[in-house]
Amino acid sequence: MGKYNPDCPVETTLQLIGDKWKVLIIRDLLTGTKRFNELMRSVTGITQKVLTSHLRAMESAGLVTRTVYPEVPPKVEYNLTETGFSLKPILDSMIIWGNDYKKKTGA
């Protein structure tokens, strides 16, 4: 997460998941283990470089675990940690809010 640790809990949360790609990666990992290419397909519009960068940052922050299997070709899987999975209520609230907004605005 770097050296800056904000006092504000909202800012702390945004520092960890305040990027649309990170939220979408978490959304997809909430359903279980995913391989890199599965995430590339499910997170529409993300580039390989950005996905790699965000997965590394999320791993450093303790939100994601990366498991490498000694196979040829190498098999790499990603999972949410307990801390990463604890973000589920936030995403569930975003789903509810987004659905309500779409109904109200006809979006």
Is residue 99 assigned to a domain?
A: yes
Is residue 4 assigned to a domain?
A: no
Is residue 38 assigned to a domain?
A: yes
HEC readout, 51-89: HHHHHHHHHHCCCEEEEEECCCCCEEEEEECHHHHCCHH
- The pLDDT value recorded for residue 3 is 57
Q: Under a CB-based contact definition with an 8 Å cutoff, are residues 37 and 48 in contact?
A: no
Between 23 and 6, the more confident residue is: 23
- The pLDDT value recorded for residue 8 is 87
- The pLDDT value recorded for residue 1 is 45
Is residue 76 assigned to a domain?
A: yes
Residues 24-79 have pLDDT tens digits of 999 999 999 999 999 999 999 999 999 999 999 999 999 999 999 998 888 999 99
Distance from C-alpha of 25 to C-alpha of 43, rounded to nearest angstrom: 7
Q: Per the structure block, which two tokens stand in for 2?
A: 């770097």
Is residue 85 assigned to a domain?
A: yes
Distance from C-alpha of 61 to C-alpha of 72, rounded to nearest angstrom: 29
Name the DSSP class of 44: T
What is the number of structural domains in the chain?
1
Does residue 2 carry a pLDDT above 70?
A: no
Is residue 3 assigned to a domain?
A: no
Is residue 74 assigned to a domain?
A: yes
- Determine the structural domain holding residue 47 and report its residue range: 9-105
| CATH number of the domain where residue 43 is located | 1.10.10.10
Is residue 43 assigned to a domain?
A: yes
